[in-house]
Structure 1
Amino acid sequence: MSRNTQHLMLFCTAVVLFVTACLYGQQNVKILSAALNDRVQTTAGMEGRLTTTLRTTNPYQYNGAEVLHTVRQMTGTGIPVEVDGTSYVIDPLVSKTATIPVQLDATYRPEFIRNETGELLKIVFWKEASVN
């Protein structure tokens, strides 16, 4: 077989494989689209029997647990976190028993201090007075 014939056969095989892959991908998109449309119709047909369990607080108020979580999450980022004017850095790998004097049922107002480019410099939490 000549060299040109071999190249022609390889090119034709590549074209056939490419077209087959494109058709297979198109078929997969159709199947996924049909499944998504079916899921949307099923969810819409539930008529409010679906309820969410995730509740978020007011974005301008954090509870004590959210403050503790934020302080632990910001450890190692280089961004200082202050609670009522006192700066805290807790590394759970160094000290697992380190605590922050935060009341879990109290509400805290966050202040996000940024520079002129919008980069976060510091997070400050201030305890709000309870209204009874």
Structure 2
Amino acid sequence: MNDTVEKSIIWVVEVFLFITACMFAISGINSQEAAVKVVKHSSEQDERRLYTDLKETGEETYTGAEVIESIYHIKQLDANIEIGRYYFFKSDDLDNIDVSGIDPQQNYKVNYIRDESGKLLTIVFS
């Protein structure tokens, strides 16, 4: 009789542990799914104010923080960036770029340099 009771208790504990593990797994999957949705929504809402087409936009100003962000998106912009005496090439390694000379609080005016076909070559912030 004691053997049957002992086996029953062990079986109940195993089932309880299995159900608990399943609940933790489902909770983890739901958390990961929520995180992926947040990242996707954030990247979809990410503002890209730099214009790479030929449309006339008038005078534009950007904060230093936006300028720094544009440097880290230089490969997607497919253009070199000039900021005062600093020049960043689209081929530069993003891990080794030094942006410490750019004041995030300063406002910059932007000009675009294009080739004869209209392709954007350089974005100049002054």
Normalising TM by the smaller chain, what interval?
0.3 to 0.5
**Greater Rg over alpha carbons, structure:** 1
TM-score, length of structure 2 as denominator length: 0.45
1 or 2, which has the higher helix percentage? 2
TM-score, length of structure 1 as denominator length: 0.43
